[in-house]
Amino acid sequence: MILVGGTLGLCALALVGRALDLQVINNDFYRAQGDQRILREIAIPTSRGMITDRNGEPLAVSTPVESVWGNPQELLKHPGQIPLLARALDVPVDELTRKLSQRADKEFVYLKRRINPLQARAILAHDIPGVFSQREYRRFYPQGDAVAHVLGFTNIDDRGQEGLELAFDDWLRGTPGAKRVIRDSRGRFVENVELIEAARPGHDLVLSIDRRIQYLAHRELRNALTRTGASAGSAVVLDIATGEVLAMTNLPSYNPNAIGVRDADAYRNRAVTDVVEPGSTMKPITVAAALSAGVVTPGTLIDVSPGYMSLGRYTISDFRNYGVQTVTGLITKSSNLGAVKLSERLPDEYFYEFIRGFGYGQAPGSGFPGETPGVLAHPEDWSGSSKATISYGYGLSATPLQIAMAYAALGNGGRLIAPTFVKGQRNEAEQVLDPAVAAQVMRMMQTVTEDGGTATQAAILGYHVAGKTGTARKYNDTGGYSRRYVSFFAGVVPVENPRFSMAVVIDDPDPSTGYYGGMVSGPVFKNVMEGALRLMDVAPDDIETWLAVQAAEDAKRLKANNGKPGHGPVLPTPIPVAAGAGALVPAVSTAGGAQ
């Protein structure tokens, strides 16, 4: 009995010692095992930075939402609750059962993501074991499709996928935090233990875009497509002095708040990714090259009769025989032959480098994802007609942004500035043209929007407008040019103190409604710039014309009122209701892609 009792006593002492060792002295293992069952380290979600326009108006904001998730292991222990959960989630029972069964060895699965917090609370109110919710953020775009191509969108995990959301994803995306919590036997979080790392929200981004001008450009472009039956279009507005992009819009567009089936045709930003042969918008660059080389002056006479010429197996023609024209007249009338004859006086390498200096054939440097450099072949790769066709806008390709850049350089005293989408960012200017020559070209382009020019519908009352139309035939799949067109207008306003550069490109207008650049794209420029000039308080530089028009209207009103004064002069409508509100005048046109 003593032996048995002593043995049992030693065993009991050993058990007490072992218990003391496990629970007091060396308790790390079992403490860790217990913690694993009640402690959890969870992420603290953080919001993405807000994107605003240059005036602080929100363009992209992140709003708190809830995501409902479940523990498949726990849910599968209560199969009778699955039909109730399916009804609460508004999903088929078999689909939910299959989803849980496929993840039976997991402890986490999303059941419904990024929903209204009220909806999440309604689901949790059923008190189904293994169902929880967590805070997330969802991106909203108040301006909808008007700014879609500039902003892009984020995916379900709030990561940038397109546009500036992608380009500035690292800047906008915050850093999630982490905390340790205690959960009860049903998996519910009941207490915060400690903060491991605080969440850091993303940085805000202030764009150069002006929401008001963006809306104007989007509206007028849509009006133009409706009026002309065109398939697509782009418009870009730049601040000449800074290179800031004030507006950039494309059609067709999409709603970034309702991303559905991917449509590559609607999702891409045509203004920076799609290239077109720029047509007669190249002629001011050709004239600038000739002036800069000293081979002509604005008053030099060029004989372009009889209105056509042979070049190898091709025939280059104008709309009609313009006879003898000054270099200024070549731009006013948009003569293809005139551009060709100017290019013949220039060395190949010089002409190539001059065009490249204006940004053609190289990426604009805006930092926008997917921007393309366009196509400008080196003289070594030119054929016998390449130089001639390049002089009036064929045989090279460019994006609408590149065209707007080139015209901004003409308006900026020959200084080329890489465009930027960030307010206040200043890219270094490069002097690509003598300021005196740039001023001469601006005066020449001013004649395009005056009486006798090809773009009188782009004229703005009270302001001198310098611009150039373009109408380029589209290249087809069979290796030739079709009878479908791309219509252009690129311009600068006001001439005296240039503030804005704008390029309008409208793809494939219905030929039965007219396809010339002055008729199709010119009114878009006029209506957008007329509104932008007033919104930005840009002083008029053509008061004389405005006063003359007002005097004529006053006289007409006086006559209609039988000599009574009436109500006085009426100011021009600041923002026209529809595109194409100007007077309809015949547009001078040339075959083969000139105006």
| Coil, helix or strand at residue 427 | coil
Rounded to whole angstroms, how far apart are CA atoms 328 and 376?
A: 26
Straight-line distance from the first to the last Cα atom of the chain, in angstroms, rounded to the nearest whole number = 122
**Cβ-proximal residues to 533 (8 Å cutoff; 6+ apart), any chain:** 460, 463, 493, 494, 499, 500
Q: Which helix (H) or strand (E) holds 58?
A: strand 58-70
Asked if 402 and 367 count as a contact pair (C-beta separation under 8 A), the reply is no
Q: What angle do CA 59, 579, 498 make, to 5 degrees?
A: 70
193 to 28, 30, 38, 71, 264: CA distances (angstroms)? 18, 19, 11, 22, 48
Task: Judge whether 280 counts as a catalytic residue.
Answer: yes
Q: Which structure tokens are listed for 161?
A: 């996928």
Instruction: Name 175's bridge partners.
Output: 200
Out of 208, 234, 253, 280, which one is annotated catalytic?
280
Interatomic CA distance for residues 175 and 202, integer angstroms: 7
Beta strands 314-317 and 245-251 are: unpaired
User: Is the backbone of residue 307 left (phi > 0), alpha (psi -120 to 50) or beta?
Assistant: left
The kind and range of the H/E element at 215 are helix 211-228
Contact 10, 146 (CB under 8 A): no
For residue 22, the 8-state DSSP code is I
Q: How many CB atoms lie within 10 A of CB 49?
A: 19
- Listed in sequence order, the DSSP H helices in 50-102 are 72-75, 82-89, 93-102
Q: Tell me how crowded residue 187 is: count the other CB atoms within 10 A of its CB.
A: 16
Residues recognised as catalytic: 280
